[in-house]
Amino acid sequence: MKRKLEASELIFKIISYTLLLMFSLICLYPFLYAISSAISGRAAVEYGQIVLFPKDVQFQAFKRMFNDNMFWNAYSNTLFLTFYGTVWALFVAILGGYALSKRRLLFRRFFNFFLVFTMWFSAGLVPQYLNYLQTKAVFNSVGITDDKWLVVIAMGMAAMNIILLRNAFEGVPSEIEEAAIVDGATEFQVLTKVFIPMCKSTIATVALFFAISRWNGYFWARQMISNPNEHPLQVFIRLKLEEFTDPDRMSGWNELYASDSVIYALIVCSIVPILIIYPFIQKYFAKGVNVGGVKE
């Protein structure tokens, strides 16, 4: 049924279209600006002449980045942390979430509280720092000198994600589990053959959350990884920013492109891979919010 729009409706529609388009453009603009600045000539960037489109296009800043071994090093470190960190966190979270989802588990309330309490109260930076230092000493004494393993194993576990998994596992009908047990499945087979396939999308969402927090991890990686060759990308970007916005260090800058262009190039390089996989992960990302851990 088509009806004529009332005046108030029309006005509201126009307002929402305009404001939404404006907000979308504002969200997009900094990225476009970063790309343009990364590929513009020195004078244009330094005198602030770039508004939207690049001027005197050059690709030297990108080239400098790509020729920097440390950049690729940082990238591979980030991939290492993201991959192993996600695998380890998922391993712990799936096993824990599965056990917690069983009503026959003894002391279930205690284990749940054990988990949830860490969401309410955290010891804070200083105790955590001391704790990680001790862990690092233990790791070193057993021969693990690569601090990346410390970051992989000790950091990034989130109680919220385990609870998301627990709720998903609780949603699996118990008849299916019983059927599997009657057919002679062991506990591990029930988990791997029944529960994991049935909760695939929640597991994907949780894996995504873990992967994002690993990819983005900065503070503890900077505090704990002492060898600059093992720094992940986030730390690398920050150190570059600190170096390049220091006027004393930059006064001798003698290239055809502005020093800012290098920073913009770095930003672009760190966003592009995420943009490439964005269409594939978007549906899980949107879904994760709705799952939200709200438990009736």
Partner 1 sequence: MESKASDFLVFDEVTKTYRENPEQVVRDDVEKHYWRNVGLTILKDWRLYIMLIPMILVFLFWRYFPMYELLGSFKVSDEVKPVAEQFFAGFSYFKRLLVGGDGMSTEFWRAFRNTFLLSFYGLCFGFPMPIILALFFNEIKSNLVRSTCQVLTYLPKFMSTVVMTTLVTMLVKQGSLISGMGIVSQALSSLGLISREVANAGLLNNPGFFRAIYQISGIWEGAGYDSIVYFAAIIAISPTSYEAAQIDGAGKMAQMRYVVLPSILSTIVIMLITRIGSLLNIGYEKVLLLYNPKTYVTADVVSTFANRYGLEGAAKGIASAAEMMNNVIGMLLVIGANTIARKASNVSLY
Q: How far is the CB of 169 from partner 1 (least distance, A)?
A: 11
Work out which of 61, 74, 93, 151 binds partner 1, going by CB under 8 A: 93
Type of residue at 151? V
Work out which of 70, 87, 105, 181 binds partner 1, going by CB under 8 A: 105
Residues 232, 175 contacting (CB under 8 angstroms): no
Q: Is 73 in the site for partner 1 (CB under 8 A)?
A: no
Q: How far is the CB of 173 from partner 1 (least distance, A)?
A: 19
Q: Which residue, chain included where needed, has tokens 């005046």?
A: 7
Q: Is 65 in the site for partner 1 (CB under 8 A)?
A: no
Q: Is 274 in the site for partner 1 (CB under 8 A)?
A: yes
Q: Which is nearer to partner 1, 69 or 295 (CB)?
A: 295
Both tokens of 296, joined, read: 């009736």
CA 11 to chain centre: 40
Q: Is 293 in the site for partner 1 (CB under 8 A)?
A: yes
Counted residue by residue, the chain has a size of 296
Work out which of 121, 142, 197, 226 binds partner 1, going by CB under 8 A: 121
Residues 224-243 that bind partner 1 (CB under 8 A): 234-235, 237-238, 241
Residues 157, 165 contacting (CB under 8 angstroms): no
Q: Is 194 in the site for partner 1 (CB under 8 A)?
A: no
Phi/psi of residue 292, nearest 5 degrees: 55, -5
Contacts with 96 (C-beta within 8 Å, 6 or more apart), sequence order? 115, 162, 165, 166
Q: Which is nearer to partner 1, 6 or 175 (CB)?
A: 6
Q: Is 184 in the site for partner 1 (CB under 8 A)?
A: no
Centre a 10 Å sphere on the Cβ of residue 236 and count the other Cβ atoms it contains: 22
d(CA 134, CA 131): 5
